[in-house]
Amino acid sequence: QVQLVESGGGLVQAGGSLRLSCAASGRASSTIDMGWFRQAPGKEREFVAAISWNGGSTYYADSVKGRFTISRDYVKNTVYLQMNSLKPEDTAVYYCAAKSRWPAQTLIAGKVYNYWGQGTQVTVSS
């Protein structure tokens, strides 16, 4: 079992920055792939970013490339999502997700993740 706790959401003006954190417990972080997803009101959940178990591969949705950066700290068992140049359309509940590194699967599909956090609200005002 993996427990995930997100933090760092809040209200920010367009053009501003936020850093989301996802603290994982229950398994060594070096054995799990991690991802961030978001869901805006009335919309389906969508992929935002992901990072492989060894940090060697990162993936981003086209809508956030160049603005968001995913990273991980193995000592703290934490994954981060640095969000810069935020836009009102980034407003959503952001969820952290985790899956075992085995089997190797695409990290952009939500269905491959077994564990999810409770979500943290990000609101970007125009």
Instruction: State the pLDDT at residue 16.
Output: 98
**37 token code pair:** 């997803």
**47 token code pair:** 């992929």
Q: What digits encode the pLDDT tens for the residues 72-124?
A: 999 999 999 999 999 999 999 999 999 998 888 899 999 999 999 999 999 99
**44 token code pair:** 């389906």
Q: Give the CA distances from residue 34 to residues 7, 41, 42, 122, in Å, rounded to whole numbers and listed in that order.
A: 15, 24, 25, 19
Cβ–Cβ contacts within 10 Å for residue 19, how many? 14
The Cα–Cα gap between 85 and 82 comes to: 10
Instruction: Give the residues across from 33 on adjacent strands.
Output: 99
Under a CB-based contact definition with an 8 Å cutoff, are residues 64 and 49 in contact?
Answer: yes
φ, ψ at 62 (rounded to 5°): -60, -35
The amino acid that residue 116 corresponds to is W
Q: What digits encode the pLDDT tens for the residues 8-64?
A: 999 999 999 999 999 999 887 788 999 999 999 999 999 999 999 999 999 999 999
Q: CB within 8 A of 123, min separation 6: which ones?
A: 10, 11, 12, 91
